[in-house]
């Protein structure tokens, strides 16, 4: 084992859960490495403004990410970004993470915080207008569309529940759904249909986002007639599912049928010394605050595990 590449804990992922875990572990004088494939901050950096984070009146997701990263590094946490993981060894006492360049890191404990991503439509203009009229989070961004006319894409529980939620802000909400019926519970359907601010475009799909500096309209195709029309809107909320970034964990830890990591109340997986936190775990609500809470619990549980291991190593062998 290369002692230079051995850490007390390795955190995989640098979203709010991973950064929080790094802060707690490093402050507890636990030698910690965060490995991150993408941008530090994860999905949080896509949020133009966070106005419901306790103690902070208003901050951009990028700014909050930068502060968390600085805190972690100030406590001694190492952060390596732009990496790609090619192998994981989680079942032994000493865990290992192998990168695509052949570098191997080992640790006594691992915290998995790979996060997730909202399922996208994959149509023209979607990448261009993310954060500039397109949102995947009503709680995060609903307030920015006060007295505006918006659309919601989707037909499941999340889409209809969020459509109702958005009527607290928007003057009009149009739900666009590809089928002639919804895949939501009846009470969610009834609540949406009874709301005077909500209208529906059924058997319709969105084929493009258009605008200049921000989203101004969308192209919608009627699947029954084949007609495509341009629909003016101030914003679009997409709720067609959520995808955890756990493809690399299949066969490594227990996942549910949706690919979410199964954990207990201490964020412990089915493998001793391996924890998980944040949006990649089985949970109902996915917010920055819930990810931070998960990261805190995982870090405290991992700290206890690591300290117990160190205590055992110091104990004299029985004669």
Query: SS3 string of the chain?
Result: CCHHHEEEEEEECCCHHHHHHHHHHHHCCCCEEEEECCCCCHHHHHCCCECCCCCCCCECHHHHHHHHHHHHHHCCCEEEECCCEEEEECCCCCEEEEECCCCEEEEEEEEECCCEEECCCCCECCCCCECCCEECCHHHHHHHHCCCEEEEECCEHHHHHHHHHHCCCCCEEEEECCCCCCECCHHHHHHHHHCCCEEEECCEEEEEEEECCCEEEEEEEECCCCCEEEEECCEEEECCCEEECCHHHCCCCCECCCCCECCCCCCECCCCCEEECCCCECCCCCCHHHHHHHHHHHHHHHHHHHHHHHHHHHCCCCC
Query: What is the average pLDDT across 224-231?
Result: 96
pLDDT band for 101, please (50, 70, 90 cuts): very high
What pLDDT, on the 0 to 100 scale, is given for residue 118? 84
Quote the CA–CA distance of 138 and 84 in Å, as a whole number. Answer: 32
Quote the CA–CA distance of 245 and 90 in Å, as a whole number. Answer: 18
What pLDDT, on the 0 to 100 scale, is given for residue 52? 84
Q: Are 223 and 205 in contact (CB under 8 A)?
A: yes
What pLDDT, on the 0 to 100 scale, is given for residue 274? 98
Provide the terminal-to-terminal Cα distance of the chain, rounded to the nearest Å: 27
pLDDT band for 158, please (50, 70, 90 cuts): confident
pLDDT band for 117, please (50, 70, 90 cuts): confident
* Mean pLDDT for the chain overall: 93
What pLDDT, on the 0 to 100 scale, is given for residue 314? 76
Quote the CA–CA distance of 156 and 154 in Å, as a whole number. Answer: 6
pLDDT band for 60, please (50, 70, 90 cuts): confident
At residue 127, does pLDDT exceed 60?
A: yes
Quote the CA–CA distance of 260 and 249 in Å, as a whole number. Answer: 10
Query: What is the average pLDDT across 247-263?
Result: 96
pTM of the model: 0.77
Query: What is the average pLDDT across 10-37?
Result: 97
Give how far Cα 5 sits from Cα of 69, 78, 81, 87, 105, Å.
21, 11, 16, 15, 5
Look at 214 and 313; give whichever has higher pLDDT: 214
What pLDDT, on the 0 to 100 scale, is given for residue 318? 59
Look at 47 and 209; give whichever has higher pLDDT: 209
What pLDDT, on the 0 to 100 scale, is given for residue 28? 97
- Cβ atoms within 10 Å, residue 102: 8
Q: Is the dihedral of CA 254, 259, 263, 269 positive or negative?
A: positive
At residue 51, does pLDDT exceed 90?
A: no
What pLDDT, on the 0 to 100 scale, is given for residue 3? 58
Phi, psi of 65 (to 5 degrees): -60, -45
Task: Name beta bridge partners: 118.
Answer: 242
pLDDT band for 4, please (50, 70, 90 cuts): low
What pLDDT, on the 0 to 100 scale, is given for residue 198? 98
At residue 47, does pLDDT exceed 80?
A: no
At residue 72, does pLDDT exceed 60?
A: yes
What pLDDT, on the 0 to 100 scale, is given for residue 45? 83
pLDDT band for 2, please (50, 70, 90 cuts): low
What pLDDT, on the 0 to 100 scale, is given for residue 32? 98
What pLDDT, on the 0 to 100 scale, is given for residue 139? 77
Strands 32-36 and 6-12: parallel
Quote the CA–CA distance of 148 and 146 in Å, as a whole number. Answer: 5
- Please report how many Cα atoms fall inside a 13 Å half-sphere around the Cα of residue 77, on the Cβ side: 31
Q: Which residues touch 216 (CB under 8 Å, ≥6 apart)?
A: 133, 210, 232, 233
Domains of the chain: 3-117+242-314 (3.50.50.60), 134-238 (3.50.50.60)
Which of these, 102, 140, 120, lies nearest to 241 by C-alpha position? 120
Quote the CA–CA distance of 197 and 259 in Å, as a whole number. Answer: 35
């Amino acid at each position: 084992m290369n002692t230079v590449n051995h850490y007390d804990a390795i955190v995989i992922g640098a979203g709010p859960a991973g950064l929080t875990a790094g802060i707690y572990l490093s402050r507890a004088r636990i030698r910690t490495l965060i490995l991150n494939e993408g941008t530090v901050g994860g999905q949080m950096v896509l949020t133009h403004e966070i106005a419901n984070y306790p103690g902070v009146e208003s901050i951009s997701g990028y700014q909050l990410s930068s502060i968390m990263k600085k805190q972690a590094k100030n406590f001694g946490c190492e952060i390596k970004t732009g990496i790609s993981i090619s192998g994981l060894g989680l079942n032994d006492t000493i865990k290992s993470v192998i990168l695509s360049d052949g570098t191997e890191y080992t640790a006594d404990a691992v915290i998995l915080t790979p996060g997730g991503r909202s399922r996208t439509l994959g149509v023209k203009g979607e990448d261009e207008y993310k954060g500039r009229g397109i949102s995947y989070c009503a709680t995060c961004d609903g307030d920015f569309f006060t007295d505006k006319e918006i659309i919601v894409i989707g037909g499941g529980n999340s889409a209809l529940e969020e459509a109702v939620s958005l009527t607290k802000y928007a003057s009009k909400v149009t739900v666009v759904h590809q089928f002639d019926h919804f895949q939501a519970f009846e009470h969610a359907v009834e609540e949406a249909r009874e709301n005077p601010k909500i209208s529906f475009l059924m058997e319709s799909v969105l084929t493009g986002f258009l605008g200049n500096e921000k989203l101004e309209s969308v192209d919608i195709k009627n699947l029954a007639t084949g007609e495509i029309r341009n629909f003016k809107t101030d914003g679009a909320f997409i709720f067609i599912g959520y995808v955890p970034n756990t493809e690399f964990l299949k066969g490594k830890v227990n996942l549910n049928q949706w690919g979410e990591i199964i954990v207990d109340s201490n964020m412990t997986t089915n493998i001793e010394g391996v924890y998980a936190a944040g949006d990649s775990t089985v949970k109902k609500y996915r917010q920055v605050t819930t990810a931070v809470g998960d990261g805190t619990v995982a870090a405290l549980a991992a700290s206890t595990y690591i300290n117990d291991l160190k205590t055992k190593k110091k104990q004299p062998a029985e004669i």
